[in-house]
Chain A
Amino acid sequence: MIIALKALISSLFAGLLQLDNVQAGQFLISRPALVGPALGWLNGCPAEGAKIGLLTELIYLDFIPVGGVVPPCGLVAAAVGVLGFAYGGLPESTAFFFGILAGFLYANLEYRLRVLRSSWIAGIEAQAKDGTLRLERRLAGSLLAESAMTGSYVFIFSWLLALGYGLGLCAGFGALLRASDFAYSLMPWLGLSGLYFRFSTQVYKK
Chain B
Amino acid sequence: MNDDETIMSIEPDKEQLPDSGLAASRLPLVTVFFRSFMIQAGWNYERLQNLGFAFAITPALRRIYASKEAFNAAVLRHLGLFNTQPYMVGFVLGNVIKMEEGLARAPGNTELEKKLIGVKQALSAGFASIGDRVFWGRLKPITTQFCIVIWFLTGFYGWLFTGDGYRPSALVVFSGPLAGIVVYGTFAVYLRWIGLKKGYACGGLANCGLDAMRWPELIRRLSVTGFAFSLLIVLGAFGLLIVHNLPGESKGHLALKLALVLCVMTLQRVTRKFGRSIFFAMGIIVAVSVAVFTIFNPEKFNIYL
Contacts and interface: CB of A to CB of B under 8 A. Distances in A.
A195 B144 contact: yes
Contacts of B168: 46-47, 50
A60 B109 CA distance: 48
A61 B227 contact: no
Interface in B61-96: 68, 71-72, 75-76, 79, 83, 86-87
A80 to B, nearest CB: 16
Contact of B177 (A24, A33, A143, A199): A33
A163 interface: no
Contact of B162 (A66, A176, A185): A185
A135 interface: yes
Contacts of A38: 174
Contact of A200 (B52, B227, B233, B285): B227
Interface stretch (A8-16, A82-90, A124-132, A153-161): A124-132
Question: Most B CB atoms within 10 A — which of A33, A93, A129, A136?
Answer: A33
A178 B299 contact: yes
B286 A139 contact: no
Contacts of A109: none
A124 B272 CA distance: 43
Interface stretch (B9-17, B197-205, B244-252, B257-265): B257-265
B159 A188 contact: yes
B303 interface: yes
Contacts of A139: 38, 41-42, 51-52, 55
A30 to B, nearest CB: 10
Contacts of A202: 137-138, 223, 226-227
B226 A199 contact: yes
B141 A23 contact: no
Given A25-B37, A200-B230, A202-B226, A194 B268 contact: yes
Given A196-B234, A199-B223, A181 B304 contact: yes
B294 interface: yes
A131 B47 contact: no
A26 interface: yes
B233 to A, nearest CB: 6
Given A64-B136, A139-B51, A202-B138, A197 B272 contact: yes
A175 B293 contact: yes
B265 to A, nearest CB: 4
A37 B173 contact: yes
A27 B185 contact: yes
A137 to B, nearest CB: 11
B159 A124 contact: no
Nearest to A61: B141
Contacts of A53: 177
A148 interface: no
Given A25-B37, A64-B136, A138-B51, A118 B45 contact: yes
A125 B42 contact: no
A68 B46 CA distance: 10
Nearest to B281: A190
Contacts of A187: 162, 282, 285
Interface in A40-64: 40-41, 46-47, 49-51, 53-55, 57-59, 61-64
A72 B262 CA distance: 27
Nearest to B141: A61
B299 to A, nearest CB: 7
A59 to B, nearest CB: 6
Contact of A118 (B44, B52, B184): B44
Interface in B275-305: 277-279, 281-282, 285-286, 289-290, 292-294, 297, 299, 303-305
28 contacts: A22-B40, A23-B40, A23-B42, A24-B41, A26-B86, A27-B184, A54-B144, A58-B144, A66-B136, A67-B83, A121-B46, A124-B79, A131-B71, A142-B51, A176-B294, A182-B289, A185-B305, A186-B289, A188-B237, A188-B305, A190-B281, A190-B282, A195-B230, A196-B265, A198-B226, A199-B223, A202-B227, A203-B227
**8 interchain residue pairs of minimum CB distance:** A179-B293, A118-B46, A117-B44, A199-B227, A183-B289, A193-B265, A62-B278, A34-B177
Given A67-B83, A117-B51, 14 more contacts: A28-B184, A54-B148, A63-B277, A68-B48, A120-B44, A121-B79, A178-B299, A182-B303, A184-B162, A185-B304, A188-B160, A191-B278, A192-B265, A197-B269
